[in-house]
Amino acid sequence: MTIPALLSDQVAQAFRAILGDSLPEGFCPVVSASQDLRFGDYQCNAAMILAKQVKMNPRELAGKVVEALRASCSQAIPEIAGPGFINFRINAAYYAERMKSMLGDERLGVPLAAEPKSIVIDFSAPNVAKPMHIGHIRSTIIGDTLARLARFMGHTVITDNHIGDWGTQFGMILWGWKHLLNQENLAKDPIETLLSVYKEVNKLCKESPDLLVDCKAELVKLQGGDPENLSIWKRCVSLTQSGLEKIYEQLDIHFDYWLGESFYNDALEPLVNDLLNKGIARVSEGAVCVFSDGFHKPQQDPFLVNKDGEWQPVPAIIRKADGAFLYATTDLATLDYRIAHFNADSIWYVVGAPQDKHFKQIFDIERMRGVQGDFRHVAFGSILGHDRRPFKTRDGETVSLQDVIDEAIQRATRVIEEKSPDMPADEKARIARMVGVGAVKFAELSQNRLSDYIFDWDKMLALTGDTAPYLQNSYVRVKSIFRKLEEGEYTPAAASPELSEDAEIHLARLLARYAEIVPSTLDDCRPNLLAAYLYELARAFHSFYEACPVLKSSGDTRTTRLSLCDLTARVLKQGMGLLGIEMPDRM
Ligand code: ARG
């Protein structure tokens, strides 16, 4: 049990003893970490909330609770503060006890989820023959972290790469394939080649509108099942997939499924008919649309928009007047499939904020159909260049994920070369990959996902500040302590830590907090909570290491300090692992 959960139970018991039957049923006091350690380690505002309900003075109620807790709570000293807060100062001895149990626990104190769920995580999802751009980076990295966290918490996780493998771009691609394709380039770099074919045809179409008609005809043939076009399309998809696999491999990111948009083609027509039959959709100007059913207030209604003070309908179109199905239609079919085949309780979509309206409409149509679940749009902002405009290459192109990885590794190689010129070349290469990829991932994950951030190579690869290289370097430093020990000089199981110095207590406090941070990072789908915590932990470690000699100390003090180092290394490694970042042993 985490410390806040434990304190919450004790506070609840104290309330029950004081209020008896007037305690509202199921009342669960919230205990949270204090922002400011001067007020203790944890705090609880339940007395203030309850006082209103039971018509008591909040400070008086808090006072009674504190009195009851003084007798029952051995882990902390409770204090009353302000209008009725209860603050807790955790005893050093209790932190030592926590350390002891962490030392023998592979999960380092993190509890498993009380109710394991089946969670489908939909992330990355680039489009065939369109650039996998920097926006897909955010989805790929955040989605992977959520999958790791959810698995670690004991959920059943299904990762599904819902690639855009069926769309109007194929008209141009098919024409280009037949008239422009360079087979040699295709073999070398399929993703880039398909993309440049697409760009080329796009340009030609602008010059001669007749070509557009030809492309459209290719698309219609594909949709009609023409064997030649179908087989070209299949090759495009599979070439793209193998190109993507290479990128994901470098990132150590893997998918359980690759059910792209085309997988749902046959489900679209029956779905639209079903929605028509149920009266959820109706025909408007030839198209099949879903309109608001008036369930929400207009402000919250995803099918309404306010124009000049008036609410106007923005229906979700699920079949165009020409019979074509849309992105929304596919997403509805996809959701059905995931519930039916993966038994999904939860479906999380890691997709940029501009698709907010799309997902709100999808989830709301599910409500109209009576389909229930924890459906979340895990949105994120943009990545910007130094000019605060969308991040682009020098010649104004979107930056591809592969370019980012390549450059990150190159730059990391320079960092390693400077730090450890004598390292063997293959080790250098291995570590440069960990550092480079880690730097890109950490720069992403340490941001609040909803805000835009500036892509800054120098900052993300710096050995100081909240960067992967800093944390990796901290880990290496902790590990190096253990390399200086004789065999058998430290056995974690035998350690019984005792804490006395402030720096020791503070490090132990942060170590214990790991058990709270991991679950709440997943609850809020906010990897930056874990990233910020790991940075704080590394900093606390450095302060501790400056204030408290480890190898030069002796006896129990030495064992305690070694176990603080040991736990710091383990939390750093596991925590960064949950962010998908590897820790080198040397660098
Ligand atoms: N392919 C889409 C894009 O690049 C993202 C798909 C996200 N997933 C989904 N189920 N809609 O914008």
Atom nearest to 349 CA in ligand 1? 8
Protein residue with least CA distance to atom 10, ligand 1: 331
Are the beta carbons of 470 and 442 closer than 8 angstroms? no
Mark out the alpha helices in 261-326 (DSSP H runs).
265-277
- Residue 296: pLDDT band (50, 70, 90) is very high
pLDDT computed for residue 172 by the predictor: 95
Tokens of residue 275, six digits: 């929605």
Tens of pLDDT, residue by residue over 112-146, are: 999 999 999 999 999 998 767 777 899 999 999 99
CB of residue 137 inside a 6 A radius of ligand 1: no
pLDDT computed for residue 397 by the predictor: 78
Tell whether the model's pLDDT for residue 213 goes beyond 90: yes
CB of residue 351 inside a 6 A radius of ligand 1: yes
pLDDT computed for residue 168 by the predictor: 87
Between the CA of 188 and the centroid of ligand 1 the distance, in Å, is 27
CB burial of residue 458 (10 Å; 0-12, 13-18, 19+)? exposed
Torsion of CA 390, 395, 401, 407, to 10 degrees: -110
Q: Which amino acid is located at 191 in the chain? A: I
Are the beta carbons of 88 and 46 closer than 8 angstroms? no
Tens of pLDDT, residue by residue over 352-396, are: 999 999 999 999 999 999 999 999 999 999 999 888 888 887 777
Between the CA of 162 and the centroid of ligand 1 the distance, in Å, is 7
d(C-alpha 563, C-alpha 403), whole Å: 42
CB of residue 449 inside a 6 A radius of ligand 1: no
pLDDT computed for residue 67 by the predictor: 95
pLDDT computed for residue 241 by the predictor: 93
Are the beta carbons of 406 and 555 closer than 8 angstroms? no
Tens of pLDDT, residue by residue over 228-275, are: 999 999 999 999 999 999 999 999 999 999 999 999 999 999 999 999
pLDDT computed for residue 381 by the predictor: 94
Cα–Cα distances (Å) from 138 to 8, 146, 149, 460, in that order, read: 36, 12, 16, 15
Mean pLDDT of 280-294: 97
304 vs 493, higher pLDDT: 304
d(C-alpha 53, C-alpha 255), whole Å: 50
Pocket of ligand 1, candidates 120, 128, 162: which has the most ligand atoms within 8 Å of its Cβ, to mutate? 162
Tell whether the model's pLDDT for residue 282 goes beyond 90: yes
Give the pTM. 0.95
CB of residue 439 inside a 6 A radius of ligand 1: no
- Residue 427: pLDDT band (50, 70, 90) is very high
Tens of pLDDT, residue by residue over 18-27, are: 999 888 888 8
- Residue 495: pLDDT band (50, 70, 90) is confident
pLDDT computed for residue 9 by the predictor: 94
Name which of 418-422, 468-472, 491-495 the model is least confident about: 491-495
Burial 90-114 (b: 16+ CB within 10 A, else e): bbbebbbbbbbebbeeeebbbeeee
CB of residue 165 inside a 6 A radius of ligand 1: no
pLDDT computed for residue 135 by the predictor: 79
- Residue 401: pLDDT band (50, 70, 90) is confident
Between the CA of 347 and the centroid of ligand 1 the distance, in Å, is 14
Between the CA of 122 and the centroid of ligand 1 the distance, in Å, is 8
Between the CA of 167 and the centroid of ligand 1 the distance, in Å, is 12
Mean pLDDT of 520-533: 97
d(C-alpha 289, C-alpha 319), whole Å: 7
Between the CA of 392 and the centroid of ligand 1 the distance, in Å, is 21
Between the CA of 164 and the centroid of ligand 1 the distance, in Å, is 7
pLDDT computed for residue 166 by the predictor: 94
pLDDT computed for residue 122 by the predictor: 98
* Closest to 163 (Cα-Cα) out of 117, 196, 187, 130: 130
CB of residue 261 inside a 6 A radius of ligand 1: no
Between the CA of 327 and the centroid of ligand 1 the distance, in Å, is 8
CB of residue 127 inside a 6 A radius of ligand 1: yes
Between the CA of 125 and the centroid of ligand 1 the distance, in Å, is 5
Tell whether the model's pLDDT for residue 307 goes beyond 90: yes
Percent of the chain whose predicted confidence (pLDDT) is above 70: 100
CB of residue 120 inside a 6 A radius of ligand 1: no
